[in-house]
Chains A and B, each alone.
Chain A
Amino acid sequence: NAGVTQTPKFQVLKTGQSMTLQCAQDMNHEYMSWYRQDPGMGLRLIHYSVGAGITDQGEVPNGYNVSRSTTEDFPLRLLSAAPSQTSVYFCASSSPWGEQFFGPGTRLTVL
């Protein structure tokens, strides 16, 4: 039982490049979400999904896209990376009562 997995663990991009952060869970949770963590700001919700085929925006969605074709996978796409997107990104999946299980994170630097 791997829980929530994320790849890659580290990534460096140049401004304007695009990339996809991968997230997968094996707990059969319907709810999944993406957060970014910045110093002094806690975790901010980027996008979330309540099931396959259903996604919605969180607090800071601009510059990011998501899709949910299966229950297990919830990739996050950066369309055109900007230095403001330098952050640590966490994926999480949630039990029905809201307890969230987090992946190990992806540390992204945009130059």
Chain B
Amino acid sequence: AQSVTQLDSQVPVFEEAPVELRCNYSSSVSVYLFWYVQYPNQGLQLLLKYLSGSTLVKGINGFEAEFNKSQTSFHLRKPSVHISDTAEYFCAVTDGGATNKLIFGTGTLLAVQP
């Protein structure tokens, strides 16, 4: 069975500082990986996705993530955060099989401080 671990429940960071949100997954088959962002009182929005090809994936709002198969990781990074990046970030994995079930991590709250 697949699973996703987001070890950090909350990451405080100052504005304009770099940030990394960690995500590790477990799966016995090839996977597709996603990062979603949820702003307060809103639904989930896709930030970026890894389906195949280049292991460095660029997304919206200046975020990027790197797929590392040997370490089963898909960490999210941004070189300089803004106050507006304050949100909950969810990592998710699917094997893209017939059911397309998406397994989510428990989320990381990115709290950007001035």
Contacts and interface: CB of A to CB of B under 8 A. Distances in A.
Interface string B31-68: 01010100000111110010100000000000000000
Interface of A: 31, 33, 35, 40-45, 48, 50, 56, 58, 90, 92, 94, 96-105
B43 A105 contact: yes
For the residues of A in contact with B, the DSSP-based class is strand
Interface in B69-106: 90, 92, 94, 96, 98-102, 104-106
15 contacts: A31-B99, A31-B100, A42-B105, A42-B107, A43-B104, A44-B104, A45-B101, A50-B98, A90-B44, A94-B100, A94-B102, A98-B34, A99-B34, A102-B44, A105-B42
A42 B94 CA distance: 16
A92 B92 CA distance: 14
Given A102-B43, A104-B43, A40 B106 contact: yes
Number of chain B interface residues as a range? 20 to 34
Contacts, number: 61
A42 B102 contact: no
Enumerate the 3 nearest inter-chain pairs by beta-carbon distance, A residue then B residue, closest first.
A98-B94, A42-B106, A102-B44
Contacts of B51: 97
Contacts of B27: none
B43 A90 contact: yes
